[in-house]
Structure 1
Amino acid sequence: MKIGVYSIEKSSSQWVDGIIKEYIKHSSRYATVEDVVVFNKDIAKAQTMDAQAAKEAYTRAFEPHMKGFCVALDVQGETLGSASFAQLIASASDVRFFIGGAFGFSTDFLAKHQKVISLSRLTYAHKIAKTVLFEQIYRGLCINNHHPYHK
């Protein structure tokens, strides 16, 4: 099984990167999990223009990576419990999660995904949302493999 998390980020944080690396390491006995950060000059320029330009830049950056079972994170997406999330990641051998930039995703881009989920109705800082996603990936893998971490 392969799980990829694709995100729009212009800078990293040492403490967040450390936590994410730990979850990737723990997950490695069940799946190959990768963290792919996407940011380029097109995105940087578009984000200074307006929301529509930014969303179009995110779409262009992510489309080449849309393979397998694609899941977008969006505040209006479906909220799942941990057991349902575990079923979601068990549904395919290649699962890819997409976390947008500050302006979110266009409706057209969201329509290209097999699933659109929300981690919460709360708004999180980008790095917090990404950390929560990696924790849930590990939790879901543990649930699917009958590991006691979930308890």
Structure 2
Amino acid sequence: MSKINIYSIVKPSKDESDILIKNFIKMSQKYANVEVHYIFNKTIAKAQTIGEKEAQQSYSDVYEPLLKGYNIALDVLGKKVDSYKFSQILEGKNEINFFIGGAYGFKRDFLNKCDNIISLSDLTMAHKIANIVLTEQIFRGLCIINNHPYHK
């Protein structure tokens, strides 16, 4: 069973979006172990008040130690993929890490260290919405791989 981590630079909170995210994670559990990790600390908070370069560096500092397995950054300039191509990205990998940047996105250097860069949409989304879309697409991709009728 594969392990899928979603890392997101956002302050943890308990709201309606968490219910949807947990629901997609629960449905995915028969195919993969999916976990969402919200990361926000004083260093990130301070860096975001200073400027873009400092904020991006703080995201890289937190994320780089987590680069193991197959690493995917979500970035507006990433490849656009449909659900079938997304499922192919998931297929056959033991550990997959998705990285959602903070308010200022990623440094090029961090993106170059990732195995893949994809975009969920041309639209800018709140982190919680991106997490909902990503967890739904992970479930959908796992269903496609396992011939479950959810995708149809």
Q: TM-score, normalised by structure 1?
A: 0.97
Aligned-residue offset at 1:6: 0.4
Matches within 5 A, 1:114-129: 114-129=115-130
Aligned-residue offset at 1:55: 0.2
- Asked if 1 retains the 8 angstrom alpha-carbon contact of 2:27 and 2:139, the reply is yes
RMSD (CA atoms): 0.8
How far, CA to CA, are the matches of 1:18 and 1:54 in structure 2?
29
Aligned-residue offset at 1:13: 4.2
Aligned-residue offset at 1:37: 1.0
1:107 aligns with 2:111: no
Aligned-residue offset at 1:12: 2.1
Aligned-residue offset at 1:133: 0.4
- Asked if 1 retains the 8 angstrom alpha-carbon contact of 2:12 and 2:38, the reply is no
Opposite residue 18 of structure 1, the aligned amino acid is I
Aligned-residue offset at 1:85: 0.1
Opposite residue 84 of structure 2, the aligned amino acid is A
Structure 1: segments with no counterpart, 5+ residues: none
Q: TM-score, normalised by structure 2?
A: 0.97
Aligned-residue offset at 1:80: 0.2
Query: Could you say which residue in structure 2 is the equivalent of 1:150?
Result: 151
Query: Could you say which residue in structure 2 is the equivalent of 1:71?
Result: 72
Task: Provide Cα deviations, 1:22-68, integer angstroms capped at 9, x if missing partner.
Answer: 01100000000000111111000000000000000000011111110
How far, CA to CA, are the matches of 1:89 and 1:7 in structure 2?
19
How far, CA to CA, are the matches of 1:148 and 1:11 in structure 2?
33
How far, CA to CA, are the matches of 2:117 and 2:92 in structure 1?
15
